[in-house]
Chain A
Amino acid sequence: MGRSLGVAFFLAKRAIARGNLRVSILSISVLVLVYLNIALGPAMIDGLVDLINDKVRTTVTGDILVQPDFGEDFIPDAKALASQIEAIDGVEGAVPLKVVGYQIRYEGRQFTSSLTAADPTDFGSVFTTSDYMIEGSFLEPDDTDQIVLGINVAGADRKFDASWASLRSVNAGDRVVVVFTNGVEKEYTVKGVFQTEMPYSDIKAFITESELSLVSPEVGDSATHLCVRAEKGCELGPIMAEIQALRDGLSVGTWEEAAGMIKVSVDSVKSVYFIIQAIALVVAGLTVAMVTYIDLANRRKQIGIQRAIGITKQTIILAYTFRAFFLFAVGTILSSLVFVFVIVPLEKQHPVHFSFGYILFPVDVLYLAAAAVVLGVVSLLSAAIPAWQATRMEVVDAIWSS
């Protein structure tokens, strides 16, 4: 076995150093492209999923959502509860939200949905919606008679997919009429328009808590739900348990449970992509196998000669496997370097824009390593199987039928 290994290594070394350079470059190029394809696809999906999850957490649900138990409409003493929650270790902020039904009207158009009232300071401790203002500014705690609208409500003279549902041409500074479900009708100045690029968020409209107490004083200190932001990397389970223990009548869930449809969509995308990746790997394997097979077909006579002078089949197969391993290693290292040191930094400078915003490619070292292992196995099999087949031929056929 030792001799076989030695001779196989010697043959592989010479084949790499002095063999057909074009075939080696072609094989390495195929491996680089295949590996980049394997690395890039999931990076995009992961980047997109991270982006969606982040947008959901920072503009729609927070990390933890506290709702009244089934059958209850409001959480009473919401401010006190928010203070208690903020005192829990690992909690960065908590905001009671009051969601009421409303209809908004502007120049003959109207739009019916729900309006959220919150204390802008508390809101800012949980959500980053104010970072996405495209016109005007977000609310201040004492603002009254002012409203902030998502792009899917205001329209703001921009063309986008949901423009059919919006008021189309409301901009910051415009006056709109709001009719509440309790019958109150009031004119508001649009203080700002935001665009988070997350449809769940961009359909929202905000007024301050103080404003709601003027038009709907019956709501008082009750909240329809509370959103909680946890410190980065903090385990949500223990925090949720502590919130649950604060008082009866609360239903506490993670943002993933709250944004169930989004999670289902993301999981579906991941499943579809998993299938695409599996197909990509098979195609990669076949491509590598094809290049190796063509190379081997041209070397059939050489294999016959090697066998005729007494080189064992095992040695010949090992030699081709070593060569394939070398090509795989060069291809994978090269493409990893290109991915980590060229594509990722370049993408960071010029991020790709998707419908939910700009995505960044995360570098998942474990995934890259796993992909390399899979591609390595595929490469080795792609060399070993055709080599094994070539050595199965009778020596005389291998030499004289080539």
Chain B
Amino acid sequence: MIRVTNLTRVYRVGSVEVHALTDVSLSIEDKEVACIMGRSGSGKSTLLRQLGLIDRPTSGKIMLDDRDVTDLAETERAKTRLTRLGYIFQEFALLGELTAHENVCLPGMMAANGGGYAKRAAELLAAVGLKERMNHRPRELSGGEQQRVAIARALVNNPRFLFADEPCANLDTVSSELVMETLVELNGRLGVTVVFVSHDPNDRQYANRVLYLKDGRMVPEHDQICPPDAEPTGSRGGQ
């Protein structure tokens, strides 16, 4: 379970303070697929980075499975990211010098509780439909294929939570559907809690819970009848 209480993130740009998140509180149950939606600049990605322990909040508290992870030391944060969290970036973020299989293996190799990570990496790549592309390097894969490699990489250590930051932002419609279906299928098959960010209203269909952000604040559920970010169906692109 993820529980966030009064989370605030303030960036300082020169002498100006930018409040990216203000007093955000939420909870996401185990095995849920939660979608965070909102306009560009509403703080969706910032929130996901706090949950994925990639950024540190200015104040507030983040609990993962009843463990306070807000102020963990960097070594502990790295260990938590490695073993309990999976993170999928908007722009794929694969390591160009490694093949698809090696990219997926890398976190497994680092965690390595015994062997078997190579086999698991191969199974995950097969599960995301890339069995035949395992030995290709990222530049030899399409955007959709790269994103599916990133999904496999995020899952190699059997994480409890999977965070995806606009995983389809750089993909065409067909690839987007494939990626989203893959996420939902893995949620069902592996029981991993999935939190993804999107600004495409169509993606709500993949979530069993939708959270809205506006100007860095959570929009109360009773105000969510009319989604604040209603972009045309099928329109995709980065924030």
Q: Are B74 and A315 in contact (CB under 8 A)?
A: no
Bound complex: CA A394 to CA B137 (Å): 27
Do B93 and A310 touch (CB < 8 A)? no
Q: Which one of A11-19, A108-116, A240-248 is at the interface?
A: A11-19
Does A296 belong to the interface (CB within 8 Å)? no
B49 at the interface (CB under 8 A from A): yes
Pick from B82, B93, B154: contact of A399, CB under 8 Å? B93
A-B contact count (CB 8 A): 72
Interface string of B92-118 (1 = CB under 8 A from A): 011111100010001101111000000
User: Residues of B contacting A254 with CB < 8 Å?
Assistant: none
Contact A305 B95 (CB under 8 A): yes
B133: Cβ under 8 A from any A Cβ = no
Determine the distance from Cα of A183 to Cα of B109 in the docked complex, in whole angstroms.
Answer: 98
Q: What chain B residues lie within 8 Å of A315 (beta carbons)?
A: 110
Nearest-neighbor residue (CB-CB) of B102 within chain A: A14
**Is there contact, CB below 8 Å, between B110 and A312?**
yes
Question: Which residues of A from 1 to 24 have beta carbons under 8 Å from B?
Answer: 3, 6-7, 10-11, 14-15, 17-19
Which of chain B's residues have a CB closer than 8 A to the CB of A163? none
B176 to chain A, nearest CB (A): 22
Q: Do A395 and B98 contact each other (CB < 8 Å), given the known contacts A3-B112, A310-B81, A312-B110?
A: no
- Contacting B at CB under 8 A, from A341-397, are 394-396
Interface centre among A308, A313, A315 (most CB of B within 10 A): A308
Q: Is the CB of B109 within 8 A of A308?
A: no
Determine which of B89, B110, B137 lies in contact with A310 in the assembled complex, contact meaning CB atoms within 8 Å.
Answer: B110
Cα–Cα distance between A180 and B97 once the two chains are bound (Å): 86
Q: Mark B128-158, 1 if CB is under 8 A from A, else 0.
A: 0000000001000000000000000110010
B87 lies within 8 A of A308 (CB):
yes
B115 CB to closest chain A CB, in angstroms? 12
Cα distance A309–B81 when bound, in Å?
6
Binary CB contact string for chain B from 79 to 93 against chain A (1 if under 8 A, 0 otherwise): 101110001010001
CB of B208 closer than 8 Å to a CB of A: no
Task: Report the Cα distance A217→B74, complex, angstroms.
Answer: 96
Complex CA–CA separation, A11 to B153 (angstroms): 16
A227 to chain B, nearest CB (A): 69
User: How far is the CB of B69 from the nearest CB of chain A, in Å?
Assistant: 14
User: Which chain B residue lies CB-closest to A17?
Assistant: B97
Question: Is B55 a contact of A396 with CB atoms below 8 Å?
Answer: yes
Q: Within the assembled complex, what's the spacing in Å between the Cα atoms of A142 and B74?
A: 93
A83 at the interface (CB under 8 A from B): no
Which residue of chain B has its CB nearest to the CB of A13?
A: B97
A210 within 8 A of B: no
Complex contact B78–A311 (CB within 8 A): yes
Are A394 and B56 in contact (CB-based, < 8 A)? yes
B97 with A15: CB separation less than 8 A: yes
Contact A309 B82 (CB under 8 A): yes
CB proximity of B158 to chain A, nearest CB, Å: 13
Is B110's CB under 8 angstroms from A7's CB? Answer: yes
Nearest residue (CB) in A for B49 is: A396
B112 touches A395 (CB 8 A): no
In the complex where A18-B97, A306-B95 touch, is A311 in contact with B110 (Cβ < 8 A)?
yes
| Residue pair A7, B109 in contact (C-beta under 8 Å) | yes
- Given the contacts A311-B78, A399-B93, A10 and B55 also touching, CB distance less than 8 Å: no
**B95 close to A302 (CB less than 8 A):** yes
Contact across chains for B54 and A305 when beta carbons are under 8 A apart: no
User: Across the interface, which residues of B come within 8 angstroms of A396, CB to CB?
Assistant: 49, 54-55
Q: Is A225 an interface residue (CB 8 A)?
A: no
Contact B78 A313 (CB under 8 A): yes
Which residue of chain B lies nearest to A396 when distances are taken between CB atoms in the complex?
B55
A307 within 8 A of B: yes
A308–B93 CB distance below 8 A: yes
Query: Which residues from A are CB-within-8-Å of B56?
Result: 394
Are B97's CB and A19's CB within 8 A? Answer: yes
Q: Judging by beta carbons under 8 Å apart, are B82 and A310 in contact?
A: yes
**A360–B133 Cα gap in the complex (Å)?**
59
Asked if B75 is at the interface of the complex by the 8 Å CB criterion, the answer is: yes
**Contact indicator per residue, chain B 6-23, by CB within 8 Å of chain A (1) or not (0):** 000000000000000000
Per-residue 0/1 for B154-168: is the Cβ within 8 Å of any A Cβ (1 yes, 0 no)?
A: 100100000000000
Given A7-B106, A395-B54, are A310 and B95 neighbors across the interface (CB < 8 Å)? no
Specify which chain B residues have a CB less than 8 angstroms from the CB of A19 in the assembled complex: 97
Q: Are B55 and A309 in contact (CB under 8 A)?
A: no
B87-A309 in contact (CB<8A)? yes
| A312-B78 in contact given A6-B109, A305-B89 (Cβ < 8 Å) | yes
CA–CA, A6 to B115, complex, Å? 13
Interface residues in B49-90 (C-beta closer than 8 Å to A): 49, 52, 54-56, 74-75, 78-79, 81-83, 87, 89
| A108, chain B: closest CB distance, angstroms | 82
Bound together, the chains give a CA A394 to CA B50 distance in angstroms of 12
From A307, A310, A396, residue with most partner B Cβ within 10 Å: A310
Give chain B's interface residues, CB within 8 Å of chain A: 49, 52, 54-56, 74-75, 78-79, 81-83, 87, 89, 93-98, 102, 106-107, 109-112, 137, 153-154, 157
Nearest 5 CB-CB pairings of A with B: A310-B82, A396-B55, A310-B81, A18-B97, A305-B93
- List 14 additional A-B contacts (Cβ < 8 Å) besides A3-B109, A310-B157: A7-B109, A19-B97, A302-B95, A308-B54, A308-B81, A309-B81, A309-B82, A309-B153, A309-B154, A310-B78, A310-B83, A310-B110, A313-B74, A394-B55
Q: List 29 A-B contacts (CB under 8 A).
A: A3-B109, A3-B112, A6-B112, A7-B106, A7-B110, A10-B106, A10-B109, A11-B106, A14-B102, A17-B97, A18-B97, A305-B94, A308-B54, A308-B81, A308-B87, A308-B93, A309-B87, A309-B107, A310-B78, A310-B81, A310-B83, A310-B110, A310-B111, A310-B157, A311-B107, A312-B110, A313-B78, A394-B56, A396-B55
